Amino acid sequence: MAIEVITKEDLHEFRTRLLDDLQKIFHSNPDSSRGPKQKQWLKSSEVRQLLKLSPGTLQNLRINGTLSYTKIGGTIFYNYDDIEHMIESNKVSAYKNK
C-alpha cells in the first residue's frame, strides 16, 4: 500500500480546477439566468406564493385570459414561461416620452 503526500499546492490546484469546472457548467446552462433550475409547471399555491396573489386574483387572471393554465383532474397547473410572459407584457415603462 503506497502512501501519497498531499501538499497545500495540490489542494490549491484541485480547488482551482473544481471552481473552473463549476463555472463552465453554470455558464453552459441556458437557464442559468434564472438561478437554480425552475420547475416548468407550477400549482396554484406555488403561483400565488411566487406572485403574492390571493386565490381570487389568480382565479380572475384565469377567467379573463391573462394567464393560461392546464387543468388535470382537479389540479390547475401554470407554465412558468407563461407567467414570465404575462409579467413582461404588462410592464409599464417608467420613462416618459419627450
- CA 94: distance to chain centroid? 25
Is-contact 67 73, C-beta < 8 A? no
Residue 8 sits at φ, ψ, to 5 deg, of: -60, -35
Q: How many residues does the chain have?
A: 98
pLDDT in tens, 22-74: 888 877 755 545 556 678 999 999 999 999 999 999 999 999 999 999 999 99
C-alpha cell at 59: 382565479
Query: Which pLDDT band holds residue 4 (cuts at 50, 70, 90)?
Result: confident
